[in-house]
Amino acid sequence: MSTTVSQSKQQHPQNIVTVDNLKIHFPLKGGQTVKAVDGVSFQIRAGETLGIIGESGSGKSTVGRALVGLLKPTEGTLRYGETDISALSAAEYKRLRKNYQIIFQDPHAALNPRMTILQSLVEPMEIQNEGTRESRRKTALASLERAGLAPEIALRYPHELSGGQKQRINIARALTVHPQFIVCDEVVAALDVSVRGSILNLFADLQEELGLTYAFITHDISVVAHVSQRVAVMYLGNMMELGPTDSVIEQPLHPYTQALLSAEPRPVPSDMREDRRIQLQGEIPSPASPPSGCRFRTRCPYATDRCKADAPDWREVAPEHWVSCHYTTPSGVEQ
């Protein structure tokens, strides 16, 4: 990709993660491959929250897993700070890896039902060979408190807790090894609306207190808009748009982002609703046989023959605002 060069030139000095032309392909029977992620490049800056949105099949969770080494890149590089992680030995990687944690969507499935909360909390430190039995216990209890839970909970089992409490446990567990960076994969999707706010507030508090960096992966645009400084929009294994949250939400430059934002049902009275829904035809195509050229062209209201023939470049259309579309301009798509 020619554009990645220009992007790396203005590289931020303090990137926690740098992803360059990342591809993750899964082989299928019969020689086909699912191109779950197919050439994405971006950086995550120290102390920021990067939101990654997309529908199912967009590759957002695959990227999230790759960011913490749960999936190996088929192609491309992943750097933690300045370090290319593919060049590390297993021991070096394990030491570095503890700074990079992930929290999953289903708070219940992420906890072992046969372990007490305390046992779950000390496990990451045991794996890292950190401290003594007593110091691990202390760290675990301190993490619980930081996540807003009473220490008594440590001796309970997951089934005794509510969904919100369990997600707080998962957060506390990630904190026990003092990470710099946490991938949050749909962390509030399984929670009731009334408790989502308290969990999102907790993430914000922890970021401020501990200087954490997040990649916040979600399908919920209102959540991403709330927590992120920058937003990346994915579609069918490619990145469509990446920019400051305000620009992407207020003036989306990619036709897909525009449709996605307009599709979000809004809880406002009928007289306040802008009638501007862009109805997309059909659904996301199979990542095993993605369309030629631009991935979005089969559903794009502006698609032309050029979109079929050539994949659009990843262009910096406005300052810090990157878009992959032939036709977009700083004020949107021009026909």
Residues that bind other proteins (CB under 8 A): 55-56, 162, 164, 192-198, 200-201, 204, 219, 221-223, 225-226, 245-246, 249, 259-260, 262-273, 277, 279-280, 283-284
Nearer to other proteins, 115 or 190 (CB): 190
Closest contact distance (angstroms) between CB of 115 and other proteins is: 23
Q: How far apart are CA 80 and CA 17, in angstroms?
A: 5
Q: Is 208 exposed, middle or buried (0-12, 13-18, 19+ CB in 10 A)?
A: exposed
Q: How far apart are CA 249 and CA 220, in angstroms?
A: 13
Cα angle for residues 233, 321, 299 (degrees, 5° grid)? 40
Element (H, E) at 35: strand 33-45
Closest contact distance (angstroms) between CB of 307 and other proteins is: 18
Q: What is the 3-state secondary structure (H, E, C) of 210-266?
A: HCCEEEEEECCHHHHHHHCCEEEEEECCEEEEEEEHHHHHHCCCCHHHHHHHHHCCC
Q: How far apart are CA 199 and CA 216, in angstroms?
A: 13
Nearer to other proteins, 35 or 166 (CB): 166
Amino acid in position 225: A
* Helix and strand numbers, DSSP H then E, in the chain: 11, 14
Residues sharing a CB contact under 8 Å with residue 76, sequence separation 6 or more, in sequence order: 19, 20, 21, 22, 23, 39, 41
Residues sharing a CB contact under 8 Å with residue 126, sequence separation 6 or more, in sequence order: 136
Closest to 120 (Cα-Cα) out of 68, 61, 175: 175
Closest contact distance (angstroms) between CB of 57 and other proteins is: 8
Nearer to other proteins, 51 or 73 (CB): 51
Nearer to other proteins, 99 or 229 (CB): 229
Nearer to other proteins, 99 or 198 (CB): 198
Nearer to other proteins, 82 or 271 (CB): 271
Closest contact distance (angstroms) between CB of 223 and other proteins is: 6
Closest contact distance (angstroms) between CB of 145 and other proteins is: 18
Closest contact distance (angstroms) between CB of 139 and other proteins is: 27
Nearer to other proteins, 2 or 281 (CB): 281
Nearer to other proteins, 76 or 252 (CB): 252
Closest contact distance (angstroms) between CB of 82 and other proteins is: 31
Amino acid in position 2: S
Closest contact distance (angstroms) between CB of 164 and other proteins is: 7
